């Protein structure tokens, strides 16, 4: 007896030959593919029931994965769907008719598997109704609710097992950049996203960063904030801090000065050193003639009294249009400290992490005119300077 596959292959070949892909309805095509995916699940499940995998000495999921060229995770999903699809008539019919997609049918089969004895067949029609109505993401949430109602202990056990899957890795790469990878539990993940999303907003016309860059900067701003607040727990009696080593020449960004180094010998640019020297995020060690000398915090960092007066006066980042409050801003020396600028109120302005970086690393200029603070983009500065010495311009 024919397995019927030949006619399916012929039909698929004819479809590819005849079809005008400009007019094919993607919804109908997806329904056909999803219906066939259900059939693949049935076929794999029959193979498992017959024990086909035993000949290969592999687990059923590994056997299915190797046979169909898919990941073990996908293969285990197909086997679970194959095991339950025929015992879920409403689901099976809705999938065959293209009323629900494969992913929704799979979610229902997994729910059926998880509930075991606690599964109530009367609820199937209602669940399929939700699957027709909602997006796949929303329907997954419905299934989790159903699980929680029918089997709270099992739900808690799953959550505890899921929690064990958490991990986070921060690796230094050879060039000093760091790679971050990991899996977070739902609560931590939601908190992480909420915190970063709130800081990763587009900041205005000068903001040319893409979303990934804005998220990375949001993390930098968050870390900067917590390091500055000094609320992290002490380790061996010392507040956590990052140490930067440079020379006086390096701090002034003089030509030929050796690059500044973070711990572990990672070099950073002179512009970044200037920014770090401007506020007091980092504990700094200066090298003069290879001897470690502390030049004293008072020369560079802002005294508590000046800081209070500055916060009272500026009330947050002074960049036009910026919304960062006092707690998220640090003092910037308008005339850079490293170039002889003083640490007086007149020479200081509060800037947030992002705008402080624009000034030091991207060469925006901050100028104060009376009580007003203005910013000049680097292109405009270049035009001013290339006009030549005889042309007068207003500051
Ligand atoms: Zn600065
Ligand atoms: Zn700002």
**How far, in Å, is the centroid of ligand 2 from the Cα of 254?**
28
Examine the domain organization and report whether 368 and 348 are in the same domain. yes
pTM tops 0.75: no
Count of the separate structural domains present in the chain: 4
Q: Which ligand is nearest to the CA of 207?
A: 2
pLDDT at 292: 46
Domain boundary among 205, 238, 271: 238
Q: Note whether residue 106 is domain-resident.
A: yes
Asked if residue 286 and residue 310 are part of one domain, the reply reads no
Q: Which of 285, 301, 317 is the last residue of a domain?
A: 301
Note the pLDDT of residue 155.
93
Residue 383: per-residue pLDDT: 65
- Distance (Å) from CA 316 to ligand 2 centroid: 8
Same domain for 29 and 133? yes
Residue 355 Cα, ligand 2 centroid: separation in angstroms?
5
Give me the sign of the Cα torsion angle 207, 212, 214, 217. negative
- Does 5 fall in a domain? no
Question: Does the residue 391 lie in any domain?
Answer: no
Range of the domain at 295: 241-301
Q: What confidence score (pLDDT) does residue 301 get?
A: 63
Distance 336 CA to ligand 1 centre (A): 7
CA 192 to chain centroid, in Å, comes to 8
Q: How far is the CA of 55 from the centre of ligand 1 (A)?
A: 69
126 and 191 inside one domain = no
Identify the nearest ligand to the CA of 333 by its number.
1
- Any idea which ligand is nearest the CA of 339? 1
Spatial distance between the Cα atoms of 172 and 264, rounded to a whole number of angstroms = 10
Q: How far is the CA of 247 from the centre of ligand 1 (A)?
A: 18
Spatial distance between the Cα atoms of 353 and 235, rounded to a whole number of angstroms:
26
Ligand with an atom nearest the CA of residue 356 = 1
Domain for residue 63, yes or no?
Answer: yes
Residues 278 and 372 in one domain: no
CB proximity list for 254: less than 8 A, separation 6 or greater: none
As a residue count, the chain comes to 395
Ligand number, closest to the Cα atom of 221: 2
Q: Which residues surround ligand 2, an ion (CB under 5 A)?
A: 317, 319, 322, 324, 352, 355
Q: Which residue among 194, 217, 238 closes a domain?
A: 238
* Residues 79 and 211 grouped into a single domain: no
Please give the Cα distance from 233 to 219 (Å, whole number).
19
Q: Domain check: are 230 and 140 in the same one?
A: no
Distance 323 CA to ligand 2 centre (A): 7
Which residues in the chain land under pLDDT 50? 281-285, 289-299, 388-395
Asked whether residue 365 is assigned to any structural domain, the reply reads yes
Q: How far is the CA of 376 from the centre of ligand 2 (A)?
A: 14
Q: Which pLDDT value is given to residue 382?
A: 66
Same domain? 68 vs 153: yes
CB contact set of 23 (below 8 Å; sequence gap of 6+)? none
Asked if residue 182 and residue 289 are part of one domain, the reply reads no
In a domain, 230, yes or no: yes
253 and 234 share one domain: no
Q: Do 33 and 125 have their domain in common?
A: yes
Burial of 122 (0-12, 13-18, 19+ CB in 10 A): exposed
Domain assignment present for 12: no
Cα–Cα distances in angstroms (integers) from residue 75 to residues 40, 59, 83, 138, in the given order: 10, 11, 12, 24
Distance 209 CA to ligand 2 centre (A): 15
> What's the confidence (pLDDT) of residue 228?
76
Q: Is residue 392 in some structural domain?
A: no
Average pLDDT, the chain: 86
Tell me: do 152 and 202 sit in the same domain.
Answer: no
Q: Which pLDDT value is given to residue 252?
A: 67
Interatomic CA distance for residues 316 and 354, integer angstroms: 13
CA of 168 from ligand 2 middle (Å) equals 30
């Amino acid at each position: 007896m024919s397995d019927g596959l030949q006619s399916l292959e012929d039909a698929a070949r004819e479809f590819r030959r005849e079809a005008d892909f400009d007019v094919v309805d993607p919804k109908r095509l997806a329904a056909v593919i999803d219906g066939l995916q259900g059939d693949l699940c049935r076929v794999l499940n029959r193979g498992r029931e017959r024990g086909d995998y035993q000949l290969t000495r592999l687990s059923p999921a590994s056997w299915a994965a190797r046979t169909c060229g898919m990941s073990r995770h996908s293969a285990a999903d197909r086997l679970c769907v194959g095991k339950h699809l025929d015992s879920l008539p409403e689901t099976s019919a809705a999938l065959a008719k293209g009323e629900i997609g494969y992913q929704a049918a799979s979610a229902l089969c997994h729910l059926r598997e998880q509930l075991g004895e606690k599964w109530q067949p009367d609820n199937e029609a209602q669940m399929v109704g939700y699957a027709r109505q909602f997006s796949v993401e929303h329907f997954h949430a419905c299934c989790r609710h159903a699980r929680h109602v029918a089997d709270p202990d099992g739900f808690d056990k799953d959550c505890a097992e899921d929690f064990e899957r958490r991990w986070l890795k921060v690796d230094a790469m050879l060039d000093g950049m760091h790679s971050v990878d990991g899996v977070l539990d739902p609560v931590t993940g939601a908190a992480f996203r909420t915190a970063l999303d709130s800081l990763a907003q587009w900041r205005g016309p000068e903001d040319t960063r893409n979303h990934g860059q804005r998220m990375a900067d949001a993390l930098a701003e968050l870390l900067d904030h917590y390091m500055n607040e000094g609320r992290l727990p002490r380790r061996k009696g010392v507040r956590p801090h990052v140490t930067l080593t440079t020379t006086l020449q390096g701090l002034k960004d003089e030509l030929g000065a050796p690059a500044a180094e973070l711990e572990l010998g990672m070099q950073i640019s002179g512009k970044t050193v200037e920014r770090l020297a401007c506020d007091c995020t980092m504990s700094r060690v200066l090298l003069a003639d290879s001897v470690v000398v502390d030049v004293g915090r008072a020369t560079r960092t802002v005294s508590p009294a000046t800081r209070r007066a500055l916060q009272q006066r500026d009330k947050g980042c002074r960049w036009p249009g910026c919304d960062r409050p006092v707690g998220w801003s640090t003092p910037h020396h308008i005339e850079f400290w490293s170039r002889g600028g003083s640490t007086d109120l007149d020479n200081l302005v509060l800037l947030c992490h992002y705008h402080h970086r624009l000034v030091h690393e991207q060469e925006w200029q901050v100028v104060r005119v009376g009580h007003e603070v203005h910013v000049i983009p680097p292109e405009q500065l270049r035009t001013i300077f290339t006009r030549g010495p005889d042309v007068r311009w207003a500051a």
